[in-house]
């Protein structure tokens, strides 16, 4: 809808002579017909792709959540279901509330441990320290790996039969062996440690880039005033890092909501590793296909996701919108 | 005199005059963490290089017994060659089109004033932040119900085709690329385009001959980052591919455990093969990759 409207350039605004020196606005002057067509296509093409493959399916998800459909028959077999799917998900669907709890734990763990660890790495490595580059490269290595691969690599560490930890303790293959990924009372934590291995490096890199951008004289002034390292960080560095802090917060929340690959590789997102994203997929590809129920869970995930997304968009684009 | 200056400079440039104990603690902490960080990686590499006969006899927590590349050979022949090729067939076009389309939008919204500039940027940026599972069900059904000639896709639909996986990757990544490129283009002096317009250059010429060449550093960084991201994508191929031999490598490793059961040497070798392309980029283009990551976050 907005695609067609935004496809047309703003009506020829001639440069006014009001001395608007403060805003060097690059107003569009005159376009030839070809130029108009080219510009319109440049925006409308990608926008159509985005609309058809991202926003239309998002709306369809909401629609499907009010229907009953196993997805096998054609579209005429879709039945209206009212709020029944939501009713079922909230009150009767056994893995739903565990999944919500696990997503919350995922978020809290990343927010309380993985993200602060990455910030700590960045702050320490930003000090004039020897071998800083080598440390950075090491912490950064897992960021290059897919979470699916991280699941495989940590399986080699965690396995009860042949894993590093159990083998080193000499209890592998015995009944004392700890089955980190198989034991439903600990596998969430084991997965979170594997996720931290990647997440901390990610946060470190973002934070380091921000720290490098801070005017060093600020820190020097604080040091001259006798501020300690941590005082300087709390009172000078951290406030100056506002944009990066926003990004890190948003990334932490989004990663917690998006978590999927790791638990899917471990056991398909079952037995202690239920997550909302995994439940959607189980209802889509699993045996008891129920697209209505899957979509209802997807909508819950959507609504929760919109909180950090809107927060981020407001922070990022508010200034642009005002100018 | 000069020593006094040097002295005072030392105090100023370090945030605090370094006391050995404080820095000692920092080094100790960082070194312990760095070793911990390397363990999973080194262990995987070590396991992948050991003969199965040795680990069978002495267990995995043992040393010596020689190294071998035979695990890599077996893994390679079991399909990894094909999977890597599949990854290339998906990653290269997806990254190319994501960046191309993003550069179009970024150019249009950052170099000209439109009424819906911000709306467009918001739509693109937000689309990139959604968890993909929210779209999974409708995308799967849309792909399934889109009837295509068999000459184009042997499934008769977009399911189980490279096109399908490529297109959704483009759609998902174009948001982030647009965001990054539009910020970069906004920072270019505005009179560049004005001067070109005065000279009668067309909009397309402005884009292609003036703006794009200036964006080379951003394009290089973005391309590196996107190659890694699309290569590492697990979900879309899992959802949309049905024929095992068409899977890209990141999704195919899901089958590693089942295929090699408890042959950890082979699993480790498969994991290492998967890492190789990323590792090459990590060693050669790490700076570009980091630049790509931070480009997206430098906006105030």
Domain count, chain B: 1
The tokens for A94 are: 């056994």
Q: Which residues of B touch A152 (CB under 8 A)?
A: 253, 256-257, 267, 270-271
Q: How many CB pairs under 8 A join A and B?
A: 339
Find residues 81-110 of chain A whose CB sits inside 8 Å of chain B. Answer: none
Q: Quote the domain boundaries for residue B50.
A: 41-294
Query: Is pLDDT of B13 > 60?
Result: no
DSSP, collapsed to helix, strand or coil, labels residue A79 as strand
pLDDT (mean) for B12-16? 44
Domain parsing of chain A, residue ranges: 98-265
Locate the chain B residue with the closest alpha carbon to A121. B30
Angle formed by the axes of helices B133-145 and A291-322, nearest 10°: 110
Model's pTM, two decimal places? 0.88
pLDDT (mean) for B40-64? 90
Dihedral sign of CA atoms A144, A55, B92, B81 in order: positive
ipTM over 0.90: no
Among B113, B138, B282, beta carbon nearest to A144: B282
**Are residues B131 and A257, on separate chains, in Cβ contact within 8 Å?**
yes
B198-223 tens-digit pLDDT: 777 888 988 998 899 999 989 998 99
B23 part of a folded domain: no
Mean pLDDT score of chain B, rounded to an integer?
Answer: 86
pLDDT (mean) for A75-95? 92
pLDDT (mean) for B245-266? 86
Q: Give the minimum alpha-carbon distance from A84 to chain B in angstroms, rounded to a whole number.
A: 18
B42: exposed, middle or buried (Cβ count in 10 Å: 0-12, 13-18, 19+):
exposed
Residue of B8 and B276 predicted with greater confidence: B276
Q: What is the per-residue DSSP string for chain B?
A: -HHHHHHHHHHHHSSSPPPHHHHHHHHHHHHHHHHHHHHHHHHHHHHHTS-HHHHHHH-SS---S---SHHHHHHIIIIIHHHHHHHHHHHHHHHHHHHHHHHHHHHHHHHS--TTHHHHHHHHHHHHHS-THHHHHHHHHHHHHS---TTT-TTSSSTT-HHHHHHHHHHHHHHHHHHHHHHHHHTS-THHHHHHHHTT--HHHIIIIIIHHHTHHHHHHHHHHHHHHHHT--HHHHHH--SGGG--HHHHGGGHHHHHTT-HHHHHHHHHHHHHHHHHHHHHHHHHHHHHHHHTT---
| Most B CBs within 10 Å, among A12, A143, A156, A313, to test the B interface | A156
Residue of A18 and B56 predicted with greater confidence: B56
End-to-end CA distance of chain A: 25
Specify the CATH architecture of the domain A98-265.
Answer: Orthogonal Bundle (1.10)
Rama region for A19: left / alpha / beta (φ>0; ψ in -120 to 50; rest): left
Residue of A286 and A252 predicted with greater confidence: A252
Output the pLDDT for position A128: 79
The tokens for A249 are: 């917060």
Q: Which residues of A touch B207 (CB under 8 A)?
A: 42
Q: How confident is the model at residue B47 (pLDDT cuts 50, 70, 90)?
A: very high
CATH code of B116's domain? 1.10.3720.10
**Are residues A153 and B120, on separate chains, in Cβ contact within 8 Å?**
no
Query: Which residue's entry shows tokens 């370090």?
Result: B14
B102-144 tens-digit pLDDT: 999 999 998 887 788 889 999 998 988 999 999 999 999 999 9
Output the pLDDT for position B30: 95
B191 part of a folded domain: yes
Residue of A112 and B183 predicted with greater confidence: A112
B63 part of a folded domain: yes
pLDDT (mean) for B149-176? 92
Output the pLDDT for position A161: 85
Please tell me the distance from the alpha carbon of residue A280 to that of residue A29, in angstroms, as a whole number: 50
Locate the chain A residue with the closest alpha carbon to B31. A135
Find residues 69-88 of chain B whose CB sits inside 8 Å of chain A. Answer: none
**Are residues A46 and B178, on separate chains, in Cβ contact within 8 Å?**
yes
pLDDT (mean) for A289-313? 93
B74 part of a folded domain: yes
**Are residues B203 and A140, on separate chains, in Cβ contact within 8 Å?**
no
**Are residues B123 and A50, on separate chains, in Cβ contact within 8 Å?**
yes
């Amino acid at each position: 809808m907005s695609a067609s409207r935004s496809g047309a350039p703003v009506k020829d605004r001639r440069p006014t002579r009001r001395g608007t020196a403060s805003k060097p606005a690059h107003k569009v002057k005159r376009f030839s017909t070809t130029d108009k067509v080219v510009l319109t296509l440049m925006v409308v093409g990608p926008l159509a792709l985005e609309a058809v493959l991202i926003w239309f399916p998002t709306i369809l998800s909401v629609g499907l959540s009010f229907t009953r459909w196993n997805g096998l028959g054609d579209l005429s077999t879709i039945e209206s279901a009212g709020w029944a799917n939501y009713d079922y998900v909230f009150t009767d669907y056994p893995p739903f509330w565990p999944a919500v709890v696990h997503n919350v734990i995922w978020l809290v763990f990343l927010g309380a441990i993985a993200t602060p660890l990455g910030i700590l790495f960045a702050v320490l490595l930003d000090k004039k320290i020897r071998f800083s580059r080598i440390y950075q490269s090491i912490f950064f290595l897992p960021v290059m790996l897919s979470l699916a691969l991280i699941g495989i690599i940590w399986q080699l560490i965690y396995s009860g039969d042949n894993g590093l930890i159990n083998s080193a303790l000499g209890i592998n293959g015995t009944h004392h062996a700890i089955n980190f990924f198989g034991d439903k009372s600990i596998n969430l934590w084991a997965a979170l440690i594997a996720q931290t291995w990647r997440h901390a490096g990610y946060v470190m890199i973002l934070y380091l880039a921000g720290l490098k951008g801070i005017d060093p004289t600020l820190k020097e002034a604080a040091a001259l005033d006798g501020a300690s390292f941590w005082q300087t960080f709390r009172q000078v560095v951290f406030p100056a890092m506002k944009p990066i802090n926003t990004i890190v917060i948003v990334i932490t929340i989004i990663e917690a909501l998006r978590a999927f690959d790791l638990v899917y590789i471990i056991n398909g997102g079952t037995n202690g590793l239920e997550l909302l994203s995994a439940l959607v997929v189980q209802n889509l590809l699993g045996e008891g296909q129920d697209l209505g129920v899957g979509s209802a869970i997807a909508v819950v995930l959507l609504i929760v996701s919109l909180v950090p997304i809107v927060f981020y968009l407001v922070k990022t684009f508010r200034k642009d919108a005002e100018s | 005199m000069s020593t006094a200056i040097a002295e005072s400079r030392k105090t100023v440039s370090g945030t605090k005059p370094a006391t050995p104990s404080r820095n000692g603690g920092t080094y100790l902490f960082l070194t312990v963490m760095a070793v911990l960080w390397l363990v999973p990686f080194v262990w995987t590499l070590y396991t992948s290089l050991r003969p199965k006969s040795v680990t069978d006899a002495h267990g995995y927590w043992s040393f010596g017994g020689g190294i071998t590349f035979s695990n890599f050979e077996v893994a390679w022949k079991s399909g990894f060659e094909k999977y890597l090729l599949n990854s290339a067939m998906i990653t290269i076009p997806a990254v190319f089109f994501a960046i191309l389309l993003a550069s179009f939008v970024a150019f249009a919204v950052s170099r000209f004033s439109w009424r819906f500039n911000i709306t467009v940027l918001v739509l693109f940026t937000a689309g990139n932040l959604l968890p993909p599972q929210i779209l999974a069900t409708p995308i799967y059904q849309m792909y399934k119900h889109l009837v295509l000639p068999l000459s184009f896709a042997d499934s008769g639909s977009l399911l189980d085709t490279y096109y399908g996986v490529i297109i959704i990757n483009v759609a998902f990544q174009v948001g982030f690329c647009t965001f990054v490129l539009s910020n970069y283009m906004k920072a270019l002096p505005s009179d560049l385009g004005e001067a070109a317009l005065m000279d009668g250059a067309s909009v397309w010429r402005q884009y292609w001959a003036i703006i794009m060449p200036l964006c080379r550093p951003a394009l290089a960084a973005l391309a590196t980052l996107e190659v890694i991201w699309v290569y590492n994508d697990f979900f879309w191929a899992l959802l949309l591919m049905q024929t095992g031999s068409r899977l890209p490598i990141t999704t195919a490793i899901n089958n590693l455990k089942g295929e090699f059961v408890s042959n950890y040497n082979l699993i480790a070798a498969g994991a290492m093969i998967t890492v190789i392309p990323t590792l090459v980029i990590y060693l050669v283009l790490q700076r570009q990759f980091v630049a790509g990551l931070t480009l997206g976050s430098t906006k105030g």
